[in-house]
Structure 1
């Protein structure tokens, strides 16, 4: 592993996650998906274990966002996402832990009893406002401003957090995460050829890509898109890095980053999966005792296994999948696992 090329001076954060998370070999899956010509050893970085309720990749980002909120004197967090958003659920629990109000701007119409992440949002005491998808997307900036002003009129100061906490502040979570992961790999005696993650808002991929670059690692980071297009995520990663650079490293060559995106396994659309993804989720649970979800990690891991089957990573020695969490999003998809009965 090469040395660090740019000193990393981290901003203030609040320690919320249980770190470091384990780096675990997936020996049974490695054996199953190897070929007569070999193939990489598969590892998984267990960021689903960052904490119990606040589990997943969003917590690493929210540590830095919560630090900024405290420094700026904010007592309220406002963010947005789908009804089953992992990020919104984590924000709700972070707010509860730190004594901050949380306002969620949720995409979709809700009726009946809550399930999955939405149930946890409500248990944590977050205020939830629901908007039809068209209004949610067309008026998102206006909705943020409405709720910011709503709380300001009542004497509260809010910090607005974008989708997935993916911006120039949230990116710090996976700059630090990449440093931790590369240290894990060093202790195991290797440098990963590939780091793979799901990309839904782009922030985790942006942090891993930038972090590996800053640390001089000869490692390619690939995001498996769960929505949108490869071009969208290539632009979004560079946008987040550019926002980070404007504040922390002016003159940084954003265009020099290798931004790798695979958008071949999105399936029917965001938060929708087809049967092969559900079967992959079951296979990983049965072979390794690891739970994936149909929205993010299940799709990305299914894509990874398909690419292995096609020989894409045959020349790699070690491949690390970053498990970004999402267990609560598994349960609203229960009807799709009828093949297990």
Structure 2
């Protein structure tokens, strides 16, 4: 089981600046390497404060130069928003910059406003991803690309980069894509939101059924789970983190709307029906002491049996110091307990 630090790179309040988010992210990745994380992910989003990271491969390239061991990857390249012929070359360049350390997440995307701004039909994103995936496989596996598809028509084109497909991860709920992921040996990425342990099992079942239908017969499917955690003993920081997690949940739902509410780029977090209270999150979410966070996440591992766990601590809206301190506690005090729980599951 591998453990990664996820970096959404959001502006959590009006006073936060992109340069601060960028600097905190780079330091967090270096800290994650020092404290034993296996990997670091960078998101891709556009046109709102939900994320300043329009190009996760640029973050991979930058962080490759300031780290030595930790694996790095986009989670995910929203492939329908990119011309795949360019993407395959940039992925090849990233492999050169981080030899043996690139991991590759791809996905369909889901935010209507992003597709509208790019002039791409959201309803076609699955077929666009299939063709883009064809191009990635051709270019990375053979060094050649040629395709006559519905969305892309590419004459025979040599690719002047390494011919190797990095470890592949997929975010997307389409059964056909999940079946293709199974045949490719890719890891599925899911985010059960604010459901932990047994309550998150329906999210796993949704992707496991088509994965097994494609022929996978192992005990546990290759599964990556996204979790939101904040490790601190300080009650005030715990409350800020719980408030930030609620704001993140509201923003996530708002981004599914055709026109997400925003002032400029600053996304407005709108309450949703049935949302948890901050006090409920303080009691039930993995926010608090290292012991509490480790216990909740270990229960999660036993229920979901993932092969990959992605942990995100950048949602609190606190300053760089508290955020980096929370990441360090996560790496030094929670990860060892989770690795122990993973070994027990494997046994």
The TM-score with structure 1 as length reference comes to 0.31
The TM-score with structure 2 as length reference comes to 0.30
